[in-house]
Amino acid sequence: MAQLWGGRFTKETDQLVYNFNASISFDKKFYRQDMEGSIAHVKMLGKQGILTEQESEELVAAVKEILKEVETGTLEISHEYEDIHSFVEAMLIERLGDIGKKLHTGRSRNDQVALDMRLYIRQELMEVDRLLNELLNVILRIMENNINTFMPGFTHLQKAQPVTLAHHMGAYFEMFKRDRLRMQDIYHRMNYCPLGSGALAGTTYHLDRYYTAELLGFDGPTLNSMDGVSDRDYLIEYLSALSTVMMHLSRFSEEIIIWNSNEYQFVEIDDAYSTGSSIMPQKKNPDIAELVRGKTGRVYGALISLLTTMKGIPLAYNKDMQEDKELAFDAIDTVKGCLALFSGMLSTMKFNRDKMEASAQNGFTNATDAADYLVNRGVPFRDAHGIVGQIVLYCIDKKIAIDDMSLEELKKISPVFEEDIFDAVSMKTCVEKRLTIGAPGQEAMKKVIAQEQEYLSQDWKKQLPDWEKELLK
Ligand code: ARG
């Protein structure tokens, strides 16, 4: 048991209590952020004359050394310490003696952990953004190649109107684009540095909080020290955004599972992304899509769990907040894994264009267009709807499509039909006529694709400062 705060205690901590309280087993995950925070803090203490220049430089050098050793595996983060903060401080004292003991001047673990978590989440937010971007690129490629791949569009999982694969994929493009925008949004709202908030009421040292904020790539310091140590809104927002990502991935997975079924056969998932059955030799299961769908619950769970943890906590820091970590780490790793696998599965998936087109052909997806044809020739829409309903009934009985009927058969139901009905209800026309922006018509689709290409060519992260390189150089 190695802890920082034995001074006022007369008894050893009970071992069970110690284990219950300790967080090193999971907060070691942000060892890097913890040490970066310490480097910035110590640099600032030196600049302000709170530590001598030499003390500050020695501390910075030693933290960098410890960081390097941890990253190369020569120094193991030992679980005998209570948390990652205690571990780093103990290593410094071991190496620098009294100078090491000065690290924590003007700082509390409350603002320290608030900073570490924020730095970690900020980095993971950008990683999720990168993975979303990768997925968007895969989706856009499918869109570009399938402007003319006809398929049924569904409502209620019933064939509704013909669309194209590009159009269907475009819906997911919009969803994941919004997910990226959410990342960007959260980044700008969370990018303020809590370091210097102290335990809750700031400190009596003349810290330069603007300087540490700048060293760590923040837009500035947080403006209330009580809020600074106890705000986890950014994490709730992030988990909410991650839940939405999972909801989108789960819907997409559900479609892929349906499309991959023996009945649909719209797609074939690559062997590398499918699994077999231990008993049924013929099976090739869409396990990845099913797992992504399944793991969604786990990410929602993290969001609800943190919301619940936070709801009764008075200001300022309370130990309950330590519970933000394991669930967040699990949710983040889950989402990252799902995104990476999903992009791989999607980019290797084969689309059976013929099956898709045949399915659109024989599901009366052109019934609305047949009604529109009549409307354009003066038939009131409600009557047109009824006439085409009769046609559909006739076709179901004869087991044919509207396109298969002869003009005579059509005329028997309504004399308004002429030879040009066949062109009007052909799949190509049905899709092509949908030419307002956002619709599947070729011209509209091309405009949208150009806009999405333009969107993907810019990356908001490129404008961010390269603070980490600067800090660690
Ligand atoms: N492990 C703690 C957490 O994750 C660090 C802060 C500890 N502060 C304290 N006053 N005990 O929240």
Domain count, the chain: 2
Within-domain flag for 181: yes
Residue among 109, 111, 324 to mutate when testing ligand 1 (max atoms within 8 A of CB): 109
Cβ contacts of 93 within 8 Å, gap of 6 or more: 100, 101
DSSP at 159: E
Verify that 291 and 177 share a domain, yes or no: yes
Cα 109 to middle of ligand 1, angstroms: 6
State the pairing for strand pair 150-155/158-164: antiparallel
Cα 190 to middle of ligand 1, angstroms: 20
343, 134 Cβ separation under 8 angstroms: yes
Residue among 85, 113, 313 to mutate when testing ligand 1 (max atoms within 8 A of CB): 113
Report, as an integer, the average pLDDT of 288-313: 98
For 231, 326, 425, the CA distances from 114, given in Å and listed in that order, are 8, 15, 62
Verify that 49 and 158 share a domain, yes or no: no
Verify that 227 and 169 share a domain, yes or no: yes
Verify that 176 and 208 share a domain, yes or no: yes
DSSP letter for each residue of 99-156: GGGGTTTT--HHHHHHHHHHHHHHHHHHHHHHHHHHHHHHHHHHHHHTTT-EEEEEET
Cα 186 to middle of ligand 1, angstroms: 24
Cα 113 to middle of ligand 1, angstroms: 7
What whole-number distance in Å separates Cα of residue 67 and Cα of residue 74? Answer: 10
**Minimal-distance CA residue to ligand 1 atom 11:** 319
Residue 7 confidence class, pLDDT cut points 50, 70, 90: confident
259, 266 Cβ separation under 8 angstroms: yes
Within-domain flag for 467: no
pLDDT digits 0-9 by tens, 355-374 = 999 999 988 999 999 999 99
> Cα 128–210–112 angle (5° rounding)?
60
Cα 18 to middle of ligand 1, angstroms: 13
Verify that 231 and 165 share a domain, yes or no: yes
Q: Is the dihedral of CA 118, 229, 57, 32 positive or negative?
A: negative
Verify that 346 and 233 share a domain, yes or no: yes
The packing angle between helices 233-259 and 109-145, to 10°, is 30
Nearest to 191 by CA among 168, 214, 225: 214
What whole-number distance in Å separates Cα of residue 232 and Cα of residue 328? Answer: 11
The packing angle between helices 324-348 and 109-145, to 10°, is 10
Within-domain flag for 302: yes
Read off the CATH number of the domain in which 239 is found: 1.20.200.10
Verify that 99 and 241 share a domain, yes or no: no
**Minimal-distance CA residue to ligand 1 atom 2:** 322
Last-in-domain residue among 358, 389, 424? 358
Verify that 154 and 125 share a domain, yes or no: yes
| Residue tagged active-site, from 108, 156, 250, 278 | 156
What whole-number distance in Å separates Cα of residue 15 and Cα of residue 438? Answer: 63
Verify that 334 and 232 share a domain, yes or no: yes
Read off the CATH number of the domain in which 15 is found: 1.10.275.10
Within-domain flag for 460: no
**Minimal-distance CA residue to ligand 1 atom 10:** 110
Cβ contacts of 381 within 8 Å, gap of 6 or more: 371, 375
Within-domain flag for 431: no
Q: Prior bond to 384 cis, omega within 30?
A: no
Q: What is the mean pLDDT of the chain?
A: 96
Residue among 83, 230, 310 to mutate when testing ligand 1 (max atoms within 8 A of CB): 83
Query: How high is the pLDDT of residue 248?
Result: 98
Cα 116 to middle of ligand 1, angstroms: 11
Cβ contacts of 199 within 8 Å, gap of 6 or more: 108, 110, 111, 229, 316, 317
Closest ligand 1 atom number to CA of residue 321 = 12
Report, as an integer, the average pLDDT of 152-166: 96
Report, as an integer, the average pLDDT of 163-170: 98
What whole-number distance in Å separates Cα of residue 294 and Cα of residue 416? Answer: 52
Within-domain flag for 66: yes
Unique residue bearing structure tokens 């302000």:
48
DSSP letter for each residue of 168-186: HHHHHHHHHHHHHHHHHHH
State the pairing for strand pair 267-268/150-155: unpaired
Cα 193 to middle of ligand 1, angstroms: 17
pLDDT digits 0-9 by tens, 197-220 = 999 999 999 999 999 999 999 999
**Minimal-distance CA residue to ligand 1 atom 3:** 322
Query: How high is the pLDDT of residue 6?
Result: 77
What whole-number distance in Å separates Cα of residue 403 and Cα of residue 416? Answer: 16
Within-domain flag for 89: yes
Closest ligand 1 atom number to CA of residue 82 = 1
Share above pLDDT 70 across residues of the chain, in percent, rounded to a whole number: 100
Closest ligand 1 atom number to CA of residue 23 = 1
Within-domain flag for 152: yes
Inform me whether the pLDDT recorded for 282 exceeds 90. no
Last-in-domain residue among 56, 77, 105? 105
Share above pLDDT 90 across residues of the chain, in percent, rounded to a whole number: 94
Closest ligand 1 atom number to CA of residue 324 = 4
Report, as an integer, the average pLDDT of 222-228: 98
278, 245 Cβ separation under 8 angstroms: no
Q: What is the pTM of this model?
A: 0.95
Query: How high is the pLDDT of residue 274?
Result: 86
Verify that 91 and 162 share a domain, yes or no: no
Helix spans in 260-380 (H): 287-310, 324-348, 353-361, 367-376
Catalytic, 230? Answer: no
Report, as an integer, the average pLDDT of 406-425: 96
pLDDT digits 0-9 by tens, 263-276 = 999 999 999 998 87
| Residue tagged active-site, from 25, 78, 261, 277 | 277
Last-in-domain residue among 314, 334, 358? 358
What whole-number distance in Å separates Cα of residue 199 and Cα of residue 278? Answer: 57
349, 278 Cβ separation under 8 angstroms: no
Closest ligand 1 atom number to CA of residue 199 = 10
Catalytic, 277? Answer: yes
Q: Domain containing 151: what range?
A: 110-358
Inform me whether the pLDDT recorded for 52 exceeds 90. yes
| Ligand 1 pocket list (CB less than 6 A) | 23, 27, 83, 109-110, 113, 317, 319, 321-322
Verify that 94 and 177 share a domain, yes or no: no
Verify that 209 and 329 share a domain, yes or no: yes
